[in-house]
Structure 1
Amino acid sequence: MSEAEWVGAWSEKRAALSPERVGLVDAATGVEYTYADLDRRANRWARLLDDYGVVRDDGDAGAKPGTAADTGTDAGPRVAVVSRNRPEYVDLFFATGKTGAVLAPLSHRLAPPELAELLATVDPELVVVEEPFADLVGGATDRDAWDADAPILSLPVDGSRGDEDGRAGGSTTWEPYDAVLADDGSAFDGPAVDAGDPHLFLHTGGSTGTPKETVLSHEALVWNSLNTITAWGLRDDDVTPMVFPMFHTGGWNVLTLPVFHMGGTVVIDREFDPGQILGIVEERSASVLVAVPAVLRMMTEHDRWGGTDLSSLRFVKSGGGPCRESVMEAWWDRGVDLSQGYGLTECGPNNFAMPDDWPREKAHTVGVADPHVDARVVDDDGQTLPAGEIGELELRSPHAADGYWGAPEESAETFGEWVSTGDLARVDDEGYVSIEGRKKNMFVSGGENVYPAAVEDAVVDHPAVADAVVIPVPDEQWGQVGRAVVELRDGAEKPTLDDLRAFLDDRLARFKHPRHLAFVDELPTSGPDKIDREAVAAEFGE
């Protein structure tokens, strides 16, 4: 048996327990991979990493300030990946665990300058790129921000061969991965790994400036899995479509790793659309689904919605932003237990759960804290607020990240005994937590605090409105007032501002009413289909 511990032992130990159970389904090709398959593939990739020197060496490992390095933890060599969801991502997750390396997934939605800055931050020893993003990475290698001297392996598009002639990118030579992948899938004898050693670098979904690389240790990944399994009640026969991208914490920590931990089945694809997700739920008898509110809404509006058998779903969770009550009711009407979750790359992300037989009047909350999570709401001085008062949400858990790689000042602002989330919340008398929006998004109108999330919930209740963002704009009389930027439902007529305010009269205090109204064909998104509030503010905020 390998000496690798923690994440590096997951595939081997799961393969020993349930070798013929299907762990991964690639919907793009229809191929199913058992846990025995996944461990063999991970061992082949571990040998490839070994050939490229991507193996942890405590004597050589260096650390940048502002991360776990401050407590004596080093990061091993890094592997950067730019790809859509595909089996090789899973192979590399387990393989880097076996070699003590760090996996750094990078978004393929970035522009070349942004990607170049992230590559410079990660400083990888090896880069793995899916062919459709070769030009993106090639453009990043031409930037001064990244001194591109790491070899690059290409992953071919499904059904094709890699570029056998290689490809020039800066001074770097590209090689097709299958030309150098080891044939030996037997157990790989890797280095010993400590619980606190970093294993994942996941960048934040910031829409202004370069995202920060969050350092997640082996121990943090295990604890998030345990929190999810125990609080959500995951089972070894669970099946889930993984609709989040694997460059995002949702792609790994929301369900993929907890389901692997339990020995369940994860279904991936390069891209998902709402109709396809509905098809997988029915065809694969999916039991668990987590998605962003926009995807859940689009599923309810799809032609397949009414005819899809949803009876296999034990529960569905919404994450990545507030889920409108109308969307929740559409799922409830189909007999599906849909509730809201809350998380962030820096902690978890699975921090809360709904108690058994939770009442529908708590649907606006994210539930109560998971077994190994402490949550509190504090004022600007860091003092805990009583129930019912709004303040910043802080979290404490062994699944919290260690910091931001190479960013000591930002790390100090966010991480400590408690993780400062930057989100406003309140806790009711029964311990249910309500998220009231981002701290930086709150604005003051005529001396009254206005929380955009609450206004948006009321605006979206209007029958013509599919979604909305409320942003502050200057006002001579009140200092600031709200502008509602609205995405209409298909075929709906635009309401006037007076129409909208009349609709809100018995729903919101008048000082919260938007005083300006704008329309967009579609609200901009960032990350895994989360609404990009900064982009809305940049266009409509003056």
Structure 2
Amino acid sequence: MTVHEHGARPYRWVGALSEKRATLTPERTALVDADTNTEYTYADLDRRANRTARLLRKRGVDDGDRVAVVSRNRPAVVDCYFATAKLGAVLAPLSHRLAPRELALMLDDIDPALLVVEAPFATELRDALDHDEFSHEIPPLLGLTGPETDHEFGSGPEGSTWHRYEEVLPTDGSAVETADIALSDPHLFLHTGGSTGLPKQVVQTHGSIAWNAFNTIISWGLRPDDVTPMLFPFFHTGGWNVLTIPLFHLGGTVIISRDIEPTTVLSLVEQWGATVLVSVPAVLRFMVQDDDWESTTLSSLRFVKSGGGPCRDSIIKAWNERGLSLTQGYGLTECGPNNFAMPEGFPQEKTASIGTPGLYVDARVVDDDGTELPVKEVGELELASPHATNRYWNNEEATAETFGPTNKDDSNGDGEAWVSTGDLARVDADGYYYIEGRKKNMFVSGGENVYPPAIEDAIADHPKVDEVIVIPVPDEQWGEVGKAVVEGKESLTLDELDTFLDGKLAGFKRPHHLVVIDSMPTSGPSKIDRQAIESAYGDSS
């Protein structure tokens, strides 16, 4: 990629979203920082992006370089997104929940040209950069502070110095020279949950990000006047691709906060007249259980979606009782993540489904040989769309497993390929898809395939159960049986649960073991960490 004078090349719109949107709707509110009660227009964001681009370039960031960010949701992270787009650089947001060794491994894998860190996580980053797992030279360091935090950076890693982002940010917000960027060039590295080994960095391109925005806008019916509180962190695909970037394309409004609590979400919906809301099931459940649930006005909301795992029937019912149709979405960092939509006027009995494929999405269910299965049969879900990525960073083996050996050759000869999701699904006669669980989580008991989500849904209806995960454990007679790991009341017994499930589940599906715990371990944005549960409770005791 080469740098040209601004305006001297074709396809200048690639990487120029903030500039284009600022031209179309300069005074419309783009971003609200709820923690400081500050609003930013699209003109503001483009000026900030230009200032940030100058800062990144001054610190040595060039086209193709990675800028790693460890921060909660702050306006400066949005600035970095737009600025890296202008420069042809890659933004690599990393989870602030990772341990220093994990951060060291990921930073060593990414090899960033610049590292931006929010003050509360400076100690962890210093330890990560000093760790044996980090083998590169320490990049320039920028520290984010703000009026809502009194954290200090302290000493930097050996041989390095913290520079406060706000103090070194140029004041010039005029247009900058931009890189010659193609739709196929990378713009985001977003890491997977990393349930086994080092989390994989999914390489998202300018094109795949834009196509997901188009799919979301068209298939979900987003509007320019939509407003949403962003409940996903910016180190997660949900933070960018579920609603933030689609709404930035439209000229909508996104509300961010450092720490999201149920009461906070409810107040944000009411205060700002939020029209759309997407969240993980856990947060939607916490909102329903919050003391302010009944008193909060939710009439501004047009639709509510759940993603990141199955949403329990009781939670869907609670939202329905407030006059809102809560539907379930499905996606993954490697593809989308917004792949399905519920058709207008869908029958209520389809609520358990994830809907039908979006406008520019193909989906199919296949067996282990890759043969497409007929309706109602369970197999692996595969997706194809221009919003799919085609590789992981520095991981050819995982790339081949998910995207095919080369992702260049197929029966059409034009480079299209199916993305293997690793999820089990079925499709009904009306074209609605249903997720049956992770392929690796299915187990066989007495020769019968058992899919944990269906069992979990039934158990979750018990009044003593707040949340549940069912895992397989060894059994001499049946090979494997289910063990219910429950967050709920300690008085729950296995006999009580078995009686409750009588007539609801076949005998081979009912758990043979039960353990009640205080709280579920989580990974990512409040997602239950099934791998951690299996590691801790995966025996027959």
Fold similarity call, TM over 0.5: yes
Deviation (angstroms), 1:157: 3.7
Are 1:49 and 2:56 matched, yes or no? yes
In 2, the alpha carbon distance for the partners of 1:462 and 1:413 equals 39
Are 1:209 and 2:216 matched, yes or no? no
In 2, the alpha carbon distance for the partners of 1:179 and 1:292 equals 36
- 2:80 pairs, out of 56, 80, 92, with 92
Are 1:24 and 2:12 matched, yes or no? no
Deviation (angstroms), 1:11: 0.5
| Residue of structure 1 equivalent to 2:19 | 12
Which blocks of at least 5 consecutive residues in structure 2 are unaligned? 1-5, 408-416
| Residue of structure 2 equivalent to 1:246 | 234
- 2:209 pairs, out of 221, 231, 246, with 221
* CA deviation map 1:182-235 (0-9, x unaligned): 111001111110010000000001233210000000000000000000000000
| Residue of structure 2 equivalent to 1:461 | 461
C-alpha contact (below 8 Å) 2:14/2:182 kept by paired residues:
no
C-alpha contact (below 8 Å) 1:481/1:515 kept by paired residues:
yes
| Residue of structure 2 equivalent to 1:34 | 41
- Identical-pair percentage: 61
C-alpha contact (below 8 Å) 1:7/1:94 kept by paired residues:
no
- 2:253 pairs, out of 265, 269, 275, with 265
What RMSD in Å do the two structures reach over aligned CA positions?
1.3
Letter in 2 for 1:233: G
Letter in 2 for 1:450: V
C-alpha contact (below 8 Å) 2:490/2:516 kept by paired residues:
no
Number of corresponding residues: 519
Deviation (angstroms), 1:493: 5.7
Deviation (angstroms), 1:149: 2.2
| Residue of structure 2 equivalent to 1:151 | 140
* CA deviation map 1:374-403 (0-9, x unaligned): 000000000000000000000000001121
C-alpha contact (below 8 Å) 2:73/2:233 kept by paired residues:
yes
C-alpha contact (below 8 Å) 1:6/1:193 kept by paired residues:
no
Equivalence map 1:348-359=2 (5 Å) = 348-359=336-347
In 1, the alpha carbon distance for the partners of 2:257 and 2:357 equals 32
In 1, the alpha carbon distance for the partners of 2:297 and 2:280 equals 21
Deviation (angstroms), 1:173: 1.9
Bigger shift: residues 45-54 or 122-131: 45-54
Deviation (angstroms), 1:171: 2.9
| Residue of structure 2 equivalent to 1:102 | 90
Letter in 2 for 1:466: D
| Residue of structure 1 equivalent to 2:473 | 473
Letter in 2 for 1:537: E
In 2, the alpha carbon distance for the partners of 1:437 and 1:55 equals 42
| Residue of structure 2 equivalent to 1:68 | none
* TM-score (normalizing by structure 1): 0.94
C-alpha contact (below 8 Å) 1:470/1:484 kept by paired residues:
yes
C-alpha contact (below 8 Å) 2:19/2:46 kept by paired residues:
yes
In 2, the alpha carbon distance for the partners of 1:515 and 1:89 equals 48
Deviation (angstroms), 1:179: 2.4
Are 1:83 and 2:71 matched, yes or no? yes
Letter in 2 for 1:457: D
In 2, the alpha carbon distance for the partners of 1:420 and 1:352 equals 16
C-alpha contact (below 8 Å) 2:120/2:151 kept by paired residues:
no
| Residue of structure 2 equivalent to 1:530 | 527
C-alpha contact (below 8 Å) 1:155/1:162 kept by paired residues:
no
- 1:342 pairs, out of 316, 325, 330, with 330
In 1, the alpha carbon distance for the partners of 2:152 and 2:481 equals 56
| Residue of structure 2 equivalent to 1:404 | 392
Are 1:118 and 2:87 matched, yes or no? no
Letter in 2 for 1:221: I
C-alpha contact (below 8 Å) 1:289/1:313 kept by paired residues:
yes
| Residue of structure 2 equivalent to 1:299 | 287
**SS state of the match for residue 481, structure 2?**
strand
Deviation (angstroms), 1:323: 0.2
| Residue of structure 2 equivalent to 1:510 | 507
Tell which has more relative contact order, 1 or 2 (C-alpha 8 A, sep 6+).
Answer: 1
Letter in 2 for 1:441: N
In 2, the alpha carbon distance for the partners of 1:47 and 1:485 equals 52
| Residue of structure 2 equivalent to 1:395 | 383
Are 1:498 and 2:487 matched, yes or no? no
| Residue of structure 2 equivalent to 1:521 | 518
**SS state of the match for residue 515, structure 2?**
strand
Change (3 A) 1:533 1:234: same
| Residue of structure 2 equivalent to 1:61 | none
Deviation (angstroms), 1:160: 6.2
Which blocks of at least 5 consecutive residues in structure 1 are unaligned? 57-75
Deviation (angstroms), 1:505: 1.3
Change (3 A) 1:242 1:413: same
In 2, the alpha carbon distance for the partners of 1:304 and 1:5 equals 48
Letter in 1 for 2:140: P
* CA deviation map 1:358-385 (0-9, x unaligned): 1110111000000000000000000000
In 2, the alpha carbon distance for the partners of 1:371 and 1:159 equals 42
In 2, the alpha carbon distance for the partners of 1:411 and 1:172 equals 35
* CA deviation map 1:253-289 (0-9, x unaligned): 0000001111000000001100110001111000000
* TM-score (normalizing by structure 2): 0.94
